[in-house]
Structure 1
Amino acid sequence: MRILMSLLLLRSIQLTSCAPNALEARSTCCFQFYKKKIPLKLVVSFYRTESNCPMSAIVFRTAAGREFCMNPNTSWVNSHIAKVNSRTTTATTAKTLSTTV
């Protein structure tokens, strides 16, 4: 009986210690880069991995919700970032203009 109680206690401590990471939206760390070029039309957003991750990466999120770890030093990755940012800026500007007219 004591062994069972000890196991339950250890398991609850483990779940509690993991909970804050599970709640973070951007808790992904990359351990290798995806090697293929992602079509720009599939990329809806991106983020940079946290500084506590073992390697710096850009994570592209697709419309289907998939995430791909990309090398931030690749030229097409930086081009995609600029285009996604301009899409977001254009959409925000258009929305602002339509609400003020």
Structure 2
Amino acid sequence: MTTIQILLLCILGAALLPSVVCNSAIGPDDCCFSFYPRRVKKSLVTSYYLCDYRCPKTGVILVTQKSRHICADPNLSWVQGIMKTMDEKSF
């Protein structure tokens, strides 16, 4: 291989490297970017989990009987009530 071919190969490799690094990055799977605006009945919720600490907003994801995932604000009293009820059921 000539010097020019090696140089072009290095440039091509350097150009493709950032896209490979970005695609293999490990990040949070579930984040809440907006919250559900209405109350959810406690009887419809089967479980919940907190958003990852790396998410831009702190949120709670409520899982319903139909396996729907609803983002809710953990500072609201009704969300805290659901979380407390789910925690008590787990004991």
Is 2:55 aligned against 1:48?
A: no
Structure 1 residue 85: Cα displacement: 1.0
Structure 1 residues not aligned, in runs of 5+: 1-8, 90-101
Provide structure 2 residue ranges, at least 5 long, that are not aligned to the other structure.
1-15
Q: TM-score, normalised by structure 1?
A: 0.63
Corresponding letter in the other structure for 1:62: T
RMSD across aligned positions (CA): 2.3
1:27 aligned partner: 29
Report which of the two structures shows the higher radius of gyration computed on alpha carbons: 2
1:72-91 matches, within 5 Å, as 72-89=74-91
Q: Deviations over 1:43-79 (max 9, x none)?
A: 1111111111000001101121100110111001001
Higher RCO (C-alpha under 8 Å, 6+ residues apart): 2
Aligned to 1:36: 38
Runs of 4+ in 1 over 4 A off after TM superposition: none
- By how many angstroms is 1:88 displaced? 1.5
Classify the secondary structure of the residue corresponding to 2:82. Answer: helix
Q: Equivalent residue of 1:82, what SS? A: helix
Give the structure with the larger helix fraction: 1
CA distance in 2 between partners of 1:88 and 1:29 (Å): 24
Q: Structure 1 residue 17 and structure 2 residue 24: aligned?
A: yes
Which residue among 61, 65, 89 is the counterpart of 2:63? 61
- Tell me how many residue pairs correspond in the alignment: 76
Distance in 2 (alpha carbons) for counterparts of 1:39 and 1:72: 15
TM score, norm. by length of structure 2: 0.70
